[in-house]
Chain A
Amino acid sequence: MATTTKDLNVAVIVKLEPDFSEGNVSYNADGTLNRAETKSILGPHSAIASNAAFYAKVKYGARVAVGTMGPPIAESALQQAQLLCDADELHLYSDRIFAGADTLATAEVLKAGISKVEGGKVDVVFSGHRASDGETGQTGPQTAWKLGYTFLGNVIDYNIDLESRLVRAKRLISLQGFYDIIEEVEAPLPVFISIDPSYNAFFNTVSQRLAFEKYQKEARSRAENYKQFLKVLNTQQLGIDPKLVGLPGSPTIVYKVERIPKAKASRKAEVIDGTNRDQIARVVTNMYEVLEGMVIK
């Protein structure tokens, strides 16, 4: 289906991540993540990206596809995303040879996957800001580049003009050492948007609110039967060159993982018993002295 006239096709890429919330996360004695004991969920930034796609559904009646790369268990991330954005299609890109991929090799798979949606006629792709476990924030922009889509990062708000096929987005740019900037940018479709954590969808008309409720209800029933919407695609079905994915397609390797050595003590702490009122009183006096500029440390 070609996206002439006023159709809008959007895709979201999501990731199944460790659930860092209290009660679900488990740490080893040395403070590192215990992956075996920690549950997995749709990553929080992926959830925000799904909300941004749902906004396109409510406001523009967009068709939504959600994709993820991962082992079969990653389909639970697709289900959770469908509940948020009422996805029309769910795509799991799954193949043993994808394992061990760095961001460049992951982007290769995601590019191939998005090219399969609606015959390659995706107008907007959404991704989260970064994953909570890998935290590189590189996979989104690298996928955008491989697709040949204009990349817009740190997006806090967007609107699309379906007539002119232009997107207008607000981006939050933090210039460390200076100030933050909110930039308004206009770009022709197609675009790839990575959503800032501070994004909040906002529906201001009655018809939008009605559409919101209708699609939310639909999302609940779809997510219950998510397997009906699910397609699992391997290397061959995605038409990928195996040399460009997984370990062969990854320029980088993890060479070693080590505990960060304890830094030399930079201050010599006086240890105070927190239940001793006299000692606390002395600390408070110190604190006031510092704040009033009476003691120069």
Chain B
Amino acid sequence: MSKYQHLYVVIEHEDGMPLPVSLEMLGEARRLIDGFNKKYSSDEKVVAVVLGHNVRKLCEELIFYGADAVIYADSPELRYRRNLIDTKVISQIARSREVVAEFSDTSEFVKPRYMFFGADSIGRHLSSTVLAELESGLASDINKLVIEDLEIKHEHKTKGQAMMYEKTLEMYRPDFSGFLWTTILCLDNRNPAIEREYHPQACSIIPGVFAPIEPDKSRRGIIVEYVPEFDERDLQVRILDRKIVKSAVDFDSHKAVISFGKGVKDSPEQNIKLVSDLAKEIEAEVGISLPISKKLFPVSQGINSTYMIPDRVIGTSGRKVAPLLYIAVGISGAMQHIAGMKESGFVVAINPDENSPIKDECDVFIRGRMEDVIPLLLEELRKQRPTIQVKK
């Protein structure tokens, strides 16, 4: 038996309804641990961790989605997410030998081997504070995972010597450009001068990347309750109100979405106006690629506050859309953007560079500068509009 066992998945839910990323993480965890157990002839588990109130039904559902065991804490104090309390309860669970004893041999158990969180408003911060408490490594925004025995040569970790690190989780994260993958490893501490051991190996996972498994109602698992202890002082952090808000940007009720990217750069103000005209003509919602939200170009305040906002970002760092018609204007087609639009019906790209990756992701590639193409499109759209309406 090992000091480190199992893959813990921290589940996010809204009053018992699992967020999609929770089921996606379970799916990937299932695939990884099945491979792990086969490769190392072991019997490690996918363990879902749930905090909430009246969550028993959710726990059962998580087993259908791939969990071998579910550890849950149930209290009215845990109904909504509060970072301080949640961090303490999850850390207690991660260190608890007692709960693990319900489903595996725990004689040497110290901490989980691996741990997953969702890379979203809640999980990003929760993963950070939990791993600060557990004093181990964390990688964010992961979209590929591999478990390997790796030979590592590192100036500090191995003092330049080649050393084996078994069962290491390779955590791949795309960088801001969308063109590079960085693999992050959390490596065991082998320096006796440092009193830390770097487990769990943890990461936050981009929503929408991994596929959940088909739920199987015949799957069986173990559900274990953990009774948390609260510090009275922590309960002074109080949620006074929660209001559901609708974003001013509404991709779902539009049949068409037009997105623009860095290709607007030659004359951003005019080009964004062109995109906006095109959107009005076909009643489309306007999206952007991630770099645009970083306010790359000097434009008027109106354009800036209307278009260059995180709410409009389509892709892994923003929204996922699937309109009937998707028009990508001046977008090169980085992987993160494609992930947000690939389910669209008919895809048109406008781009001067035929080597752009977007060409492989569209049905029609209009080769040309948007300054030239959009005015032509607008003319034709206006010309053809009446005939179509008559046909209807």
- Which A residues are within 8 Å of any B CB, using their own CB? 20-22, 25, 27, 30-33, 44, 100, 102-104, 107, 132-133, 135-142, 144-146, 150-154, 168, 172-188, 194, 197-198, 243, 247-248, 250-260, 262-275, 277, 280-281, 283-288, 290-293, 297
Contact = CB atoms under 8 A, between A and B. Distances in A.
Contact of B182 (A30, A145, A248, A254): A254
Contact of B128 (A103, A185, A280): A103
Interface string B66-109: 00000000000000111110010000000000000000000000
B325 A252 contact: no
A290 B255 CA distance: 9
By secondary structure, the B interface counts as mixed
26 contacts: A20-B296, A31-B179, A132-B294, A135-B140, A153-B83, A175-B122, A178-B17, A179-B244, A180-B246, A184-B240, A185-B240, A188-B233, A252-B186, A253-B157, A254-B184, A255-B184, A258-B183, A269-B362, A272-B364, A272-B365, A275-B376, A280-B373, A280-B380, A283-B364, A290-B345, A297-B363
A182 B174 contact: no
Given A136-B141, A248-B194, A267-B363, A176 B20 contact: yes
Contacts of A284: 377, 380-381, 384
Nearest to A137: B124
8 pairs of A and B residues whose beta carbons are closest in the complex: A274-B368, A251-B137, A265-B360, A141-B128, A252-B137, A145-B132, A247-B156, A177-B20
A104 B131 contact: yes
B157 A267 contact: no
B137 A185 contact: no
A31 B360 CA distance: 18
Contacts of A182: 242-243, 245
Nearest to A152: B83
Interface of B: 12, 14, 17, 19-21, 80-84, 87, 118, 120-122, 124-125, 127-129, 131-133, 135-141, 150, 152, 154-157, 170, 174-187, 189, 191, 193-194, 196, 198, 207-208, 233, 236-247, 255-256, 265, 268, 282, 291, 294-298, 309-310, 324-325, 332, 335, 338, 342, 345-350, 354, 357, 359-369, 372-373, 376-377, 380-381, 383-385, 388, 392
Nearest to A284: B380
Contacts of A285: 384
A99 to B, nearest CB: 11
A178 B120 CA distance: 12
Contacts of A22: 265, 268, 296-298
